[in-house]
Structure 1
Amino acid sequence: MPVDIYGVRHHGPGSARSVAQALDQQPPDLVLIEGSPELDAIVGLLGEEDMVPPVAALVYAVDDPRRATFYPLARFSPEWVAARWALSRGVPVRFLDLPATHAFALADTARTAVAEPAEPVEPAEPLGPAEPVEPTEPAAEAEAPDAGTAPPERVDPIGTLAAAAGYDDAERWWEDAVEQRHDAAADRFDAIREAMAAVRETDTRPDDDAEVVENARREAWMRKVIRAAIKEAPQARIAVVCGAWHAPALVPADFPPVSRDRTLITGLPRAKVAAAWTPWTSARLSHASGYGAGVTAPGWYEHLYDHLGHREHVESRDLATGWLVRVARELREEQLDASTASVVEAVRLAEALAGVRGRPSVGLSELDEAAQAVLCEGSRLPLDLVHSRLVVGETLGSVPESAPVVPLAADLARQQRTLRLKPSAATQELDLDLRRTNQLARSVLLHRLTLLGVAWGELAETGRTTGTFKESWRLTWRPELAVDLVEAGVWGTTVAAAAAGRVAERAKASDDLTELATLVSACLTADLPDGVSAVLGALAERAAVQHDVPALLHTVEPLARTCRYGDVRGVDTGRVREVLAATAVRACVGLPMACSSLDDKAAHLMGRAVDGAQRGLSLLADDELSDGWHSALETIASADHVAGGVAGRATRMLLDAGRLDEDAVARLMGRRLSVAAPAPQAAAWLEGFLAGDAVLLVHDTGLLALIDAWVSGVDDAVFEDLLPLLRRTFADFSGAERRTIGEQVSRLAEGGRRVQEGRTELDLEQATPALRAVARLLGWEVVDHDGAA
């Protein structure tokens, strides 16, 4: 029975062309492809018109979807070409790699052995009556390597062959030797198999090396599948499409005894797995994405495959011209000049470079250098603008609607079609007007996906859009989101149900009041009433027994923001306000006691919590809450045992709210900055009082005079320790504000202003221009003392 072994590079356009030619020349009765046998049930979908590459077969563990394996396929992948060839002609096609049900279980066993080396491994369950259980031999204990002896390195077959051919670039050698060769397909595969056999002989890794064991087990299973196929139809021709490394081990004439293979694959553990097709992207086919079997330039390889096709020979000029035309088109899209004449000149230069370097055809490096020299006038920057779009590509594949997917993914696909939100591998900017029904629905969907951990969209410029009817999103679809959807499917079968379920679980497990308050806002934004109820219940329960005042204070701002801006989306925030009121009251009652006897670090944290609560409550027009809050602030502002920074912030908030007049503030400042007060506490009070705003010192020279007098009276030895704190206090002011304050202080020193009992007389001459400007804005007529308008 003839068995044709086609060793390929998994994403090689030359390999794909060779496979197509070989299948046409020697049509098989069965096609076996390297891949998980779990894909046999869904391989028929590859023949449908709606299956547009790049796509990937996703095999995942049902109990833990994060344990997943992708099998990407591009239009220039030999596996894609072989499967489509077989399906279009009614030829059976199957996969012959080690089943994922065993691969996942073996990986779990290996992780357990590393984590708990002392635990014995239980014997594996039998595969079934046809496969009798044979006890597996324990792995031999590895001898400790000698000091200074490096472990054998992993063999790089392409790099080894490239070095033997005198190339310092493995990719360039593979492209010259394989991808752009035009000899007979059978000769190419024979040469690749012989070359790989020679490279395998140079592999010096021990037999118990993890990768060696894994490859041996996989190849044993592949031989088992081939033996079974031969036994099933002895007269049929079989085509095997596999990685070039495995090709020498799959030639039937060189098979080892069945007993040797059986010891490697009998009694393997199992895990429950499932398989599905998912869209893939060109970017994820590249080495840069971390894909081990990726290629450097997926976009270039696709272009190469399009021009090679099934033709025995293609003119180098046609290949170069087509690519450089695309480069010129992309440059024009970026508003850069790229004339037809310059394209012709660049083609000539690329061909000349290839000839000088002795290459069989123009390669990507020659085309890049020619484009940079001619189309970009020697500058790399213009080429970099378009390089990733061309060399890597931004293509996103698609799978048929009939392809098996988890219910959650099906619901998302339905909503994407309804809302006209088409996934794209390229980053999309999406501006939404929440007053429009369709755009509000888009926003709700994106927020629900965010809560689910499916990061399709990223909210941009959140600080500028809060409280408005606008939202800006940045959308990028990544293949890994398919795994996220599978994992999120445990929470529900629809996006709404799954998001609400995951939020409820998070609320149940969290004791962080700030996180719970933020979740409330997120649930309202995502229109999840069930989630809101669950989170508010958990928040009310935690807040009722919470004695940590900073935690209660941190909860106030997100809840207040939710109440203030929730009506933008038409949501009911009544219960949120109830929880907010209860939380704020508890915080106000406990605040005076919590602010006593704080060290510097605790005082800083308390100051941040007080600032947050102040920002939150200032958003609400609630007199009852405001009165309770200001009463608590008055208590800590007047108490001497409260840390200086916290007392200073409280005093400033009361001044801004009109609860303290300037005389009362001057008295508090005088007491806090008196000689009897410890200098570090006085400096901390001053920092808290002046934090972030210099208006007081610019316009109230009475307070400035008090501060100036305190700074002047500080002992020299103490002043050196206070200087960093004072510098930090004034560093937050702008340069113009610091300059104005300096001028005011110089006038105080010169006696230019009369300071009486902490107050300053108004300088009418200086104030006149400002008063005139305000009068004009108000539409008043300004009359001078002499009667002139």
Structure 2
Amino acid sequence: MSGPFDSLRDQLLGAADALAGGPAALPEILAGMVDDVDHALREPLEIFPVCHHSPASALAMARRLREKQPKVIYLELCEDLAPLLTELRNCRLPVALQAFASELDGFPKESAPLSVIAPITEASAEYQAVAYALETPGVELVLVDRSTDHVFQWQPGASSQKDGDDLHGDAVGVEIGDLRPRFAELEEHLLHHGRVRHWSEWWDQYVEQPLAGADHETYRQVMVLVGSLFRRLAPHDTRRYATDEDRERYMWTRIREHLAATGADRADCLYICGAFHAASRVAEAGSEPGTPDFEITGRTATTWLYGLIPSSHSAIEAQFGLAPGSVSIAAATWQKSLLRTGVKPFSLPAKKSTANKSTANRSTRKKVAAPVTAGGPVTDQLSGYLAGPPTLDGLDEEELRGWCVDIVRLARRNGYLASTADAIAVFETSVLLAGMRGRRRPTPYDFQDAAITCIEKETVPGRRDVRRLCEILLGGDRIGQVGYDSLPPLARDVYDRLAPLGLNLGQRTIQRALLDLAARPELAACSRLLWMLRYLLPDQAVRPIMGSRRLGEKHIQESWDLDIGRHQRTIIELGYEGVTVEQVLEQRLRRAAWDPKATTATALKAVEDSLLFLTSPRLTDELGVRAVELLAAERTVDEAPAVLRRIRRLMAHYRATEPTLPGWCERFVTEGYAHYCTLLPTAFVDEDTGVRQVGAMLGFLFSMESLALSLGCDRTQLEIAVRQSHPETPAKTALLWAARHQLGDLPLPDLRVRVDDLLANPLVVPAFPQYVSGFVQALEPVPRLAPFVVETLSKAFGRLPDPVLLPWLPTLITTLKSQAAELVPVLTKEAGRTFPGSLSAIDEWTPPWLSRPAATRSPVEVPSGGPAFTLLAAHPVTSDAVAALLGCEGEWSEPPEPNPNDAVRALLSTHPEPGEAVLTLLTA
């Protein structure tokens, strides 16, 4: 039986025979393409092949919908996204349908979160079908593609996601109607012979423009032919090809299930899919009742959340590998095609009453011709289409002239020295480039190349390059917006709670919010919400200009830069985690504290964040208990500085605001005291433990010692730990000396003698800077050593030779800056007290450690024979120590015989109360 495409098949086979020496598979490929077209057109259920974001597909779709008026539309889109389609009324396109899952059950935990997006633009056939179905009574829209759960089930790994841009993030893009060839050699061949740089430009010139005005049958046959070509050239042994075939089996199975369940007439149905899938020859393809079904596996137990997020032209281009500016050019082409062809597109009005809706529908139906219920015989439209060159529009001088004038105007606004001469040059160059590339009419890509050549001139003095200016001129990077009614509850709650600021949060510019909390106390709730959003959102979405959020601080004025309009997606995705911002923050804090890789410092940070942003004592106590558990389980002291810094800050906060410390805080001190005492000897000798960490351990032990002892800890444990420590490095040795000094085991004169001995030993001098670094770190546990550290630094600067001193100074500065910045003010303050304040005083200044103050008065004479003399003579150690510090020298004399006539003794005998009071004070 002869078919409508027999003549075309014979012509192609003859051409293949004429290509002597060509690929052996060429006749099979050419004949197979014709067979695929014939097979697709013979299917009783009309297949409508499309290319995503293609104005030609959208125009053909709008025409066919008004002609056929189908009652059932099967659309290639994830079936579980169907409830989101009605929310498109409240959005400004482009937007993306999204499925999101953060808590996985059935997928690897490390791949979380999982996200799938399907962007929708006005210049897409899918949007025309959705708008028609939702706005026409009695039309059913059925999504037949695999669910989002199956998208990741069929991937080699659930974590293998495609990187996107800021709007789409790491979401997996659902490519509807993807016609990009997957054979690299074919794409390179097409680009080379088509004299274009990118696949998007080739498609626009050789498919998009010729099909813009084609009739329905020609459009279908050409699209199926192109899809068959790429399908037959794609490697059949790849996982992606197998997945595509499974998708086709899935979709046809769903279509047959719906036809059987509803009894719909296939003549009233329309199946919209990508041209690649329209040429499918799998056994399960077809709407006949006897066709075998595909076994569809069940979904995992993962809970998916659904919503709409803003999208943009640049986001779509980055997600699917399109040329920069191609989606913007497609949008401009769509608008121009509507004006040229007079086609009335379908759209979703934002608001419409019931009466108006019915009236509009009746009006629409009156204007539409009678529906086409059955297709006529298939005729060959491909032969005529392929026989000659595509019919392209001629040069539109008015349009090109307008582009040239506008690009020069934009260039001047952005700092370029462009003039009328540049506009003329861009015009002529565009025509020249189009002629060199075999085009009668310059395309937007030709115009873009001409503008870059004539205006940019190798430098970019402005904020934007000329390529970006051309994209703005031809449509711009349009960014969609999700309407308030389609936002999740959390996002709507954020907008409502920030309403007192009086700002338009949907505006896509940075807005300054000024909060005078003293004059308007009701704005305190807005301030609190902004700080929580600052914690949860990217830095640029909510940025404080004036004000901070720390324990113990309270500001009366704040200033914020808000860019919520351009970060609407991140707020929407917060809605997938909870109903309110507070709930999401609480979940994040719990997740951080109970993460398998969480440390004590992480849990303490969660405690501090809970105090700052949430008023939940129960949560704070739980996080504090978790910090105690992590501290007891740690076997390293790598984060000891962070632990010390955070627990000090928390204890200072509780002491200032609460009558007593919470129970977890006391447990933390006792556990930490025992924990660090146990690890101290090992940390002193461990090469992987730095001086900063050991100093932080000692700082915890000494600063928390009084509280720990009052809670039942034993000081002997610390003394034993210090005695068992035997460091081998100079810096840790200095730390150990400081610890012994703090415990009273090494007096300051002995410590000074040891330092002098080190400087006097030529063998130790090269290592002396390391001792000094250890003493500097010792200011953390023993801050009263500040005068001694200044003294030691001065001796090092004065006595060390330049080959030792100069290389050490940069290391000392960088170490202090990166690890001990809080110790620099202590050293600076002590140096200010020690050194003279003027240059003139330096010459007469003597370091205090080189001189001892002379005695300015005689030793105090104590009445001989009195109770005070008796007490001091019985315990001379204290008096000797005080005399040594004051520089007084003297010897103890034997008390003289008591003299009953001594006036002092008589006075004391007469008035004994003062003497007894002094005795009581001294003996207390």
Deviation, structure 1 residue 248: 2.3
Matches of 2:100 and 2:793, distance apart in 1: 69
Counterpart position of 1:72: 119
Which is greater in Rg?
2
Instruction: Flag the 1:191–1:504 CA change in 2: closer, same or farther, 3 A.
Output: closer
Match of 1:240 in 2: 271
- Residue 220 (structure 2) aligns with: 189
Aligned residues: 679
Q: What is the identity, as a one-letter code, of the residue corresponding to 1:444?
A: R
Alpha carbons of 1:291 and 1:413: their partners in 2 closer, same or farther (altered >3 Å)? farther
Matched, 1:372 2:452: yes
Deviations 1:397-444 (A, max 9, x none): 2334444x6544554454465666777797858677684757654553
1:444 is aligned to: 528
1:286 matched to which residue of 2? 316
Q: 2 CA distance for matches of 1:512 and 1:689?
A: 28
Q: Aligned pair 1:488/2:577, yes or no?
A: yes
1:197 deviates by 1.8
**Superposed, which structure 2 residues align to 1:18-167 within 5 Å?**
18-46=60-88, 48=89, 50-60=90-100, 64=104, 66-90=113-137, 92-100=139-147, 103-104=150-151, 106-107=153-154
CA contact (8 A) 2:145 2:250 kept: yes
**Percent of residue pairs identical:** 17
Q: Give the letter for the 1:399 counterpart.
A: V
Are the counterparts in 2 of residues 55 and 398 from structure 1 also a CA contact under 8 Å? yes
Structure 1 CA distance for aligned equivalents of residues 56 and 776 of structure 2: 71
Give how far 1:513 is off.
1.8
Task: Using the TM superposition, give the Cα deviation of residue 40 of structure 1 relative to its aligned residue in structure 2, in angstroms.
Answer: 3.5
**Alpha-carbon distance, 1:10 to partner:** 0.9
- 1:309 is paired with a residue of what secondary structure? helix
The residue aligned with 1:143 is none
Contact 2:730 2:767 in 1 (8 A): yes
- State the SS of the aligned residue for 1:382: coil
Tell me by how many angstroms 1:368 deviates: 2.7
Deviations 1:311-341 (A, max 9, x none): 2379745554565666556546545565677
State whether residues 200 and 322 of structure 2, in contact with CA within 8 Å, keep that contact through their aligned partners in structure 1. no
How far the C-alpha of 1:19 sits from its partner, in A, is 2.5
Aligned pair partner of 2:480 in 391, 397, 404 = 397
1:601 and 1:391 map into 2 onto residues whose CA distance is 60
Q: How far apart are the structure 2 equivalents of 1:546 and 1:200?
A: 58
The question of whether the paired residues in 2 share the 8 Å contact of 1:394 and 1:426 is answered with no
User: d(CA) in 1 for partners of 2:663 and 2:516?
Assistant: 26
Q: Distance in 2 between matches of 1:331 and 1:446?
A: 38
Distance (Å, rounded) in 2 between the aligned partners of 1:516 and 1:339: 62
2:811 is aligned with what amino acid?
A: R
Q: Which amino acid aligns with 1:368?
A: Q
The CA deviation at 1:203 is 3.4
Q: TM-score, normalised by structure 1?
A: 0.67
Corresponding residue SS for 1:7:
strand
In structure 2, distance between residues paired with 1:56 and 1:507: 33
The 1:473–1:482 alpha-carbon spacing in structure 2 relative to 1, beyond 3 Å, is closer
Q: Is 1:311 paired with 2:397?
A: no
Which runs of structure 2 are paired with 1:341-380 in the superposition (5 Å)?
A: 342-343=422-423, 346-380=426-460
**Deviations, residues 203-252 of structure 1 (Å, cap 9, x unaligned):** 3413xx43222222222333345556777343744343321212223999
Aligned residue for 1:183, secondary structure, equals coil
Match of 2:695 in 1: 610
Instruction: Specify the SS of the correspondent of 2:236.
Output: coil
Q: Secondary structure at the match of 2:91?
A: coil
* Residues 459-498 of structure 1 mapped to structure 2, 5 A cutoff: 469=555, 481=570, 484-485=573-574, 487-489=576-578, 493-498=579-584
Deviation at 1:253, TM superposition (A): 14
Pairwise mapping of residues 470-619 of structure 1 onto structure 2 (< 5 A)?
Answer: 481=570, 484-485=573-574, 487-489=576-578, 493-508=579-594, 512-529=599-616, 530-540=618-628, 554-561=642-649, 583=668, 595-596=680-681, 598=683, 602=687, 605-608=690-693, 610=695
- Contact residue 666 and residue 703 of structure 1 kept, 8 A: no
| Distance in 1 of aligned mates of 2:324 and 2:289 | 36
> Aligned to 2:246, which of 200, 217, 239?
217
Q: Kindly provide the amino acid, as one letter, of the partner of residue 610 in structure 1.
A: G
Identify which range, 421-430 or 97-106, moves more after superposition: 421-430
Structure 2 CA distance for partners of 1:361 and 1:590, relative to 1, 3 Å: same
Shift of 1:100: 0.4
Q: CA deviation at 1:299?
A: 2.9
2: CA distance between counterparts of 1:688 and 1:353? 71
Tell me how far 1:688 sits from its aligned partner: 2.8
CA shift, 1:356, in A, is: 3.5
Q: Contact 1:105–1:269 (CA<8 Å) still a contact in 2?
A: no
SS in 2 for 1:249: coil
Aligned-CA RMSD value: 5.8
Counterparts of 1:515 and 1:443, CA distance in 2: 25
| 1:9-29 C-alpha deviation (Å, 9 max, x unpaired) | 212233323322443455444
Preserved contact between residue 681 and residue 725 of structure 2 (Cα < 8 Å): no
Instruction: Say if 1:513 and 1:38 are closer, same or farther in 2 by CA, change over 3 A.
Output: closer
Aligned equivalents of 1:654, 1:430: Cα separation in 2: 56
Distance 1:373 1:453 in 2: 41
Aligned amino acid, residue 199 of structure 1: F
Structure-2 separation of matches of 1:72 and 1:669: 72
* d(CA) in 2 for partners of 1:565, 1:330: 56
Give the partner amino acid of 2:141: R
Cα distance in 1 between the residues matched to 2:496 and 2:548: 31
Counterpart in the other structure of 1:645: 731
TM-score normalised to the size of structure 2?
0.59
- State the one-letter code of the partner of 2:78: S
- The residue type equivalent to 1:445 in the other structure is L
Please give the alpha-carbon distance, in whole angstroms, between the structure 1 residues aligned to 2:266 and 2:585: 56
Quick one: distance in 1 between partners of 2:430 and 2:702? 68
Inter-partner Cα distance in structure 2 for 1:665 and 1:210: 73
- Contact kept, 8 Å, 2:490 with 2:575, in 1: the verdict is yes
Query: Residue deviations 1:30-79, cap 9 Å, x none?
Result: 43322123333443333x2x221111222356963834421110122221
Tell me the equivalent position of 2:756. 670
Distance in 1 of aligned mates of 2:330 and 2:738: 66
Give the alignment partner of residue 205 of structure 2, picking from 153, 176, 183.
Answer: 176
Change (3 A) 1:424 1:368: farther
